[in-house]
Structure 1
Amino acid sequence: MKVYIDVRLLDKKNNTGISRYIEFLLDFYISKYSDVDIALVTNDKFLKYRNCNIIYTKLKPYNILHFILFYFRFKRVDSEIFHSPFYSGFLFGTKKSKNIITVHDLMYRFVPNFFSPNNTINRIKIIYFDFIVSFSIKNADKVISVSNSTKQDLLKFLNIDSDVINEAPIKILRSNDEILKRNNLLGIKYFFYCGNNRKHKNLNFLINVFNKNTALPLLVLAGNGHKSCQNVLSVGRVTDEELRSLYENSLGFIFPSEYEGFGLPVLESLFLKTPVILSKIPAFLEFKKSKNTYFFSLNDDGELVRILEEVIQKGFIKDEYFLKEYSESNIICRYESLIEALNG
């Protein structure tokens, strides 16, 4: 095999950000080599992906014992590249393959009480993850950060430099307005959020703003774990086609997070000509060159309301230069250059 890709976090059912990134990598490597030259390492016995070779393992990426055993199971793999699309790779370096690891964020280190409100439990889990993450990154031949923000976090944490290659926005070719019909959203003005409701997403702040300011348009939430309430509508999990429809028909996408590694929904919104309202955090400020990004200070509800009113008035502004910088073709060129440098 020319390329091994660790797809143990591929989750088509929940369509996570890492799943989307893995699918982008699969398409990239298949177009560069061919599917018969690619092996996928998976925990899914039933996984099939074109004509790729499937290698099943019970070893989980974030179990320390499994992490150690994974090295001994795959250290003799004879391939040009072994790509880990997340921060669980190899315990030590391997001689026969060049190892690439992608780091999306170091959220567990920078978000307070990420694992548990209990400080002792949280600290133990940080040490647990540090073992896996630090060995994986230190023993990679190339480290990719998905943003300059993640690159800086890596320098602070491990003093390791990395190549910045942004994630590519997913290509959603069609929209499905059935989601609008089912939820009586046709012709309705609304703002939009898609994602989970973990604490660092800061959704309670956003929901409270719309609860208190009922003169604002509706806030629509897509994803698991949300509930409808005053001036807020939850539509649950959606397909890619429904997601496109929700983006395209919204006044703007709101991302109020306290921490992110990158922010793929920002690009998805902008490519679908939807303005984006963002909290002022390092990862999001990388998008400030766009004419369609608006920023508010964390938890400043007055500033957020003023920006929402401004977005309603302005709508989307044509901005081809910014979109070209984050285009799939540009990102593919960066991967080509990285692999050339790795093999050179």
Structure 2
Amino acid sequence: MKNNRLPLYVLFVLVAVALVWRVSNPPPKTMPGPVGPFNGWKSSRAIGEMGAQNVNPAGTLWAGAWNEKETSKDTSDSAVRIVDFNAYSAKSCRLPDNIEVNFLNWVDDKTIRVCFTSSAPDKGLGMLLVDAVEAQVKGKPEYFPEIARVVYWPNATSTFIAQTTGEPESVAAFVVDGEKSCKMIGKPIPTGVSKQISLHKDAGISADGRWFMFSVSDPAAEGGRVYYLANAEEGTAQKAFDLNDVPGRIDGIWPSETGVLLVCSVNQKLQAAIYDIATNKITARPNGVGDLDAWPAVPKSISITAYDGGFEFDTATGKSRAVLDFTKLNSESDKAIRDLIRDSHFYKLKSGNFITISETGGAIDIRELKPDGRWYRNVLPRI
């Protein structure tokens, strides 16, 4: 009988070839972000940490960036996860190696701007674009050595607030021209940040970038936070108010040369207030602010949930229209959902359903509700 077994030396050669191939072609790294298939995603069960998130201006797409660091190898891996609410689907886009995403926004409804730091800190802030429909990086990153990180950048605008590189730690207004050039508006403004004082995320900027507001966490301030109004062109800033001076939780800040429009959450409803530069005082405006010409970037309406329902706030009139009613949802599971989606922004889908989005402690929570306010399905829940 013929011996059909391969000679041992042939087996050794095959094994060696397989090992060489595996070493030169390692399996792809697991992408940072929620694990498993999309319909089972949870933001609390993810690889790496979420560095930034944002919903597009139309309220139809959401993007979140996760970063995973390997301290022992001094490397990092990042990815953007993109959710299409109307299609109930998601795509993922792996980003270049060794970057850390710390901010993202939307250039338009289909293009994501990713802001990051890299392993070469002397390059300054990096920016790249992602096609949200194809989930692909567009072009090459651009670097801006005078910028350390973005503090605040509204969607679909060219002006933003950033922390500058160098000492002392300062902030400044910037404007982008296309995506390849960026210039400072006016002069940098020192923040006074120290071991006890840190820059906070609450901020706002005028459409032309001439005025902006930034905030710092300061144990000495009433409420632990202080807000400064900056004149970008002059490079000056004045203390405006402490957190305790504000009527409620701040939902939006819109500065202008006539004053700063604040939208705050007060007793489950949104309410407008104006910080007057001349008097250095905040005045609540329960009947709205009327003419919005001084704040052209302010949305005409803002939709937010409370424990009792979802309300659409009219910025000009100060009126809130009930869109969702949660008061009849009193089962234990319903009450749990009401708690989880409290203080979410919400958006209406083509189906008539609604999407709620909130972020707490760096964890995102996105759910879909029926038109009557009942839970329909999870999109990206915290738990």
Larger radius of gyration: 2
TM-score (norm 1): 0.27
Name the structure where helix makes up a greater proportion of residues: 1
Greater RCO, CA 8 A, separation 6+: 1
Name the structure where strand makes up a greater proportion of residues: 2
TM-score (norm 2): 0.25
